């Protein structure tokens, strides 16, 4: 799998949930709950990342410093995600490759070919269910397609419907 390099994000400390969703959709997103505004600005500027923030002060600081930024101020998560994509003129989210990046560390996920290699980490019943498993190449967290992923698919469907209605 490859990272989507078209858009690189940096989420502020309040936006952990949004950061995890963006990673799942394949968008490289830096998120550190302990990072301060100055570091966000400096890092975003040097790496060309788009700052996502719910803090109007930080938003204004970014603007002043020539850093791309999107204000996350809607009430629901889906509306905020739609705001991000519509601001960037992204017409739809591709659900084919979900999950994509590790929701914990932003690392790349690899499909696990030899299921025996993870038998000590996954209940046998689950392992034999025929699901596809993925492992983060960085922190080794294991993922699989399950109920959680179905929720994500329906979230993506909802986002795409809203994006379509904007055009
Ligand atoms: Zn990871």
CATH number at residue 8: 3.40.50.11230
Statement to judge: residues 91 and 113 lie in one domain? no
This prediction's pTM: 0.87
pLDDT of residue 1: 46
What's the gap in Å between 133 CA and the centre of ligand 1? 14
Q: Crossing angle, helix 77-87 and helix 147-166, to 10 degrees? A: 50
In a domain, 144, yes or no: yes
Number of domains in the chain: 2
| Mean predicted confidence (pLDDT) in 120-130 | 89
pLDDT of residue 132: 87
What's the gap in Å between 50 CA and the centre of ligand 1? 21
Tell me the CB-side half-sphere exposure of residue 132, using CA atoms within 13 A. 10
| Mean predicted confidence (pLDDT) in 5-17 | 91
pLDDT > 90? residue 162: yes
Note down the domain range covering 91: 4-95
What's the gap in Å between 22 CA and the centre of ligand 1? 14
In a domain, 155, yes or no: no
Over residues 95-108, the pLDDT tens digits come to 776 778 998 999 99
Over residues 33-60, the pLDDT tens digits come to 998 899 999 999 998 999 999 999 999 9
Chain-wide mean pLDDT for the chain?
90
What's the gap in Å between 61 CA and the centre of ligand 1? 31
Statement to judge: residues 12 and 85 lie in one domain? yes
Tell me whether residue 11 is exposed, middle or buried, using C-beta atoms within 10 angstroms of its C-beta: 0 to 12, 13 to 18, 19 or more: buried
Statement to judge: residues 133 and 53 lie in one domain? no
Tell me whether residue 37 is exposed, middle or buried, using C-beta atoms within 10 angstroms of its C-beta: 0 to 12, 13 to 18, 19 or more: middle
């Amino acid at each position: 799998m490859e990272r989507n390099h078209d858009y690189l994000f940096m989420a502020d400390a309040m936006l952990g949930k949004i950061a995890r969703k963006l990673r799942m959709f394949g968008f490289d997103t830096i998120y550190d709950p302990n990072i301060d505004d100055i570091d966000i600005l400096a890092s975003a500027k040097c790496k060309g990342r788009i700052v996502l923030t719910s803090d109007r002060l930080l938003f204004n600081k970014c603007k002043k410093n020539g850093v791309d930024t999107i204000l996350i101020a809607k009430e629901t998560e889906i509306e905020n995600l739609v705001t991000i994509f519509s601001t960037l003129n992204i017409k739809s989210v591709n659900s084919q490759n979900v999950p994509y990046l590790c929701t914990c560390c932003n690392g790349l996920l690899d499909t696990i070919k030899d299921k025996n290699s993870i038998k000590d980490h996954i209940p046998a019943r689950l392992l034999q269910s025929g699901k596809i498993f993925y492992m983060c190449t960085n922190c080794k967290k294991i993922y699989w397609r399950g109920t959680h992923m179905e929720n994500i698919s329906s979230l993506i469907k909802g986002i795409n419907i809203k994006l379509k209605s904007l055009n």
